[in-house]
Amino acid sequence: MRQKTTKMYLLFRLAAVIVPRLPRRWLPALSVLLGWLAWMIAVKARRQATANMLHVLGPEVQATRLGRRRLRRTVRQMFINNVRNYLEGFCLPYVPVEEIVDNIIPGGEEHLAAALAQGKGVLIISAHFGPFDYLSQWLVARGYELVIPVEQLKDRRMLELMLNLRCSHGIKYLPVGNGTTMRAILRTLRQNQLVLITADRAVVGQSVEVPFFGAPARLPEGPALLAQRTGAALVGAFGWRLKGTRMQGEFTPISLALPEEERQNPNALMRSIVQVMERYIRAHPEQWLVFAPVWLDHPADSPAAPATAADSEEQGQGRRRISGEESGEQEGVVGCQ
């Protein structure tokens, strides 16, 4: 295992030197080539991505040849988009701030302004979705102060390499793993700044079983608990690729879209978070870049499950919390990238 991680680190370090020297107009074609290659040889990741996508598209997608083609095409595009993210990530330190701003078409920024007007900080809720790093860089380029908790990697060299690339324009990343992380998050919110948390996969900390695309999934409860504890507003932020180098970014209200009496209810907040993620993932399934298990069952195992979180509001009281200790993870209240 150590030998494998060392090889991966050396490969990424080499790519971080070579890729920025290539003409950036080559990146889309190179992403397709390498994405196809990864889709063909990464059998385990392909199977898991397919299982995840069956939840999104529904098991019935396998019933017809057209549906099976759509499933295969969507999963393959997930690999291509993932490779594109990595290639663009290697180039980030060399991309002018003006280019980052010009490449993203923002929508709903007024919702972010309304959340900041509350004065208690904003928890940006996102997912492993679309050009994640570019949207984060756009926020900083626009003058927002942004902190992102990130997962600790087994190979610390890899973590440091990726963070050095991503921090090049001023984002603050906090590796999760000690008490200082939570103190820094709380301090950021008290200063009425932004904390971005990915909420589509439980990596560390306390999690909860909730219906996600109609089947029980283990998702981080940290965003809802933090919002309840601090009064910070929850705002969804998602981006997806358009043609060429253009990208669409969109902010959507979560907590401020709820009635006043529900904004301190973690069950209501969690439902709203899940509903927002379902909406964007369903609209752009090929942009959802999760190649690890999310659900607790197979799509075909629960045909009677509710279709979405919106259909399962009455199940909120029956959610089962899973602590970091139970899941073998470190306990806390944040999800991470």
pLDDT in tens, 207-263: 899 999 999 999 999 999 999 999 999 999 999 999 888 999 999 999 999 999 899
Under the banding of pLDDT at 50, 70 and 90, the label for residue 331 is very low
Is the pLDDT score of 48 beyond 60? yes
Residues 108-128, mean pLDDT to the nearest whole number = 98
Is the pLDDT score of 62 beyond 70? yes
Averaged confidence pLDDT in the chain: 88
pLDDT in tens, 164-186: 999 988 899 988 876 788 899 99
Q: Strands across the sheet with 104-107, in order?
A: 104-107, 247-253, 233-241, 122-126, 194-198, 146-150, 172-175
Alpha helix positions (H), the chain: 2-18, 27-41, 43-57, 65-91, 97-103, 109-116, 132-141, 156-166, 179-190, 222-230, 266-283, 324-327
pLDDT of residue 304: 37
> Whose CA is closest to 199, among 208, 187, 189?
208
Instruction: List the chain domain ranges.
Output: 96-327
147 three-class SS: strand
Residues 73-91, mean pLDDT to the nearest whole number = 98
pLDDT of residue 125: 98
pLDDT in tens, 9-34: 999 999 999 999 999 999 999 999 99
> Whose CA is closest to 120, among 224, 236, 234?
234
Under the banding of pLDDT at 50, 70 and 90, the label for residue 156 is confident
CB 71 within 8 A of CB 52: no
pLDDT of residue 316: 45
Under the banding of pLDDT at 50, 70 and 90, the label for residue 333 is very low
Burial (CB < 10 A; 0-12, 13-18, 19+), residue 325, is exposed
